[in-house]
Structures are given as C-alpha cells and as structure tokens.
Amino acid sequence: MTSKLPTDDTDLTRLDEHPGHLLRRAQQISVSMFHDEVGGELTPVQFAMLRCLADHPGIDQVSLAGIAAIDTSTGATVCARLEEKGLLERKVIPHNRRQRALTITAEGEQLLASLVPATRRVRDRLLAPLTAGEQQLFMELLDRLVSDNNEQSRAPLARRDR
C-alpha cells in the first residue's frame, strides 16, 4: 500500500491528497451501503436521530439534534418526518411551551431492533477492505479525528453523560 500523505514538494493538486475529499467520498459510500442494506425505511440521519432518542427518552428536539450532531433545523425536520411515520411522539413541554419532549413509539423501537442486522452489515461492508487490526485502528483514529475537531463543526456533538 502506498502512502497517500503528500510530500513537502507537492502542490496538493490531486484530490486523493485531501482528507476532506476522501472523507466526503467515504460518506457517499457509507450512505449508499446504508440504503442497500436498510432500504427506504429510514435515511442515515433519521436512523441516527431515532437511535439517539431510544437512549434518551423525553429529551427535547434541540438537545436530541445536539447529541446526534445534526443542526437544529435539520433535526426539527427529521423529527417531524419520524413523527409522520409513527416512529416518535412529540409533546409540548408544559413548563416551556416552545420545546417538545420526544419519545420513541413502540413501532420505532421495533424498527430499530429489526435494523440491527442491517446496520451491522453496513459496518462490516464498509470496513471489509481492512484487516481486523486495521479496522480497530481506523475506528480509533476516525473517532479521534472527529472528537478533536468537534468544535470546528457547524453542528458539534453535544457532550452528554451516557
């Protein structure tokens, strides 16, 4: 395997020398694999929001968007769509009528449970080109890259106790 790191004398004209370009391509591939395995039931963003909601019942949608690292306007749209699908319920919070408390429905819980094998297949397919050791290292480095650059995001991950 040849190194993709540019040398000091490169002018960075090749796209494969830009990590952002490769990360965008990896995201495209990941989304394609997600749709292959999951089908049209949920988008990756809808899945992320529903997965986070399952772990934080009663959370408001702004906070949910924060723990899913999704901007609040997209989060509101996604929540509305999930509500239309009958996968979550939104209720006005009595002490703050501008916020809505969210809960996952039984149908939403069943859907998430049914998607476990498909999401495992997505992960396995995406990481398949790497050895087991490379997969672990890749995930550790990717997590560090994302965590250490979190504040650079337009929708930074909100830090919450798990």
- Classify residue 32: in a domain, yes or no: no
The number of domains in the chain is 1
**What CATH number is given to the structural domain containing 47?**
1.10.10.10
- Classify residue 114: in a domain, yes or no: yes
- Classify residue 86: in a domain, yes or no: yes
11 residue type, one letter = D
State the first-to-last Cα distance of the chain, in angstroms, to the nearest integer. Answer: 38
Question: Could you tell me the residue range of the domain that residue 58 belongs to?
Answer: 41-150
- Classify residue 73: in a domain, yes or no: yes
pLDDT in tens, 21-48: 999 999 999 999 999 999 999 999 999 9
pLDDT in tens, 73-108: 999 999 999 999 999 999 887 777 777 899 999 999
pTM attached to this predicted model: 0.84
- Classify residue 21: in a domain, yes or no: no
Q: What angle do CA 108, 111, 116 make, to 5 degrees?
A: 130
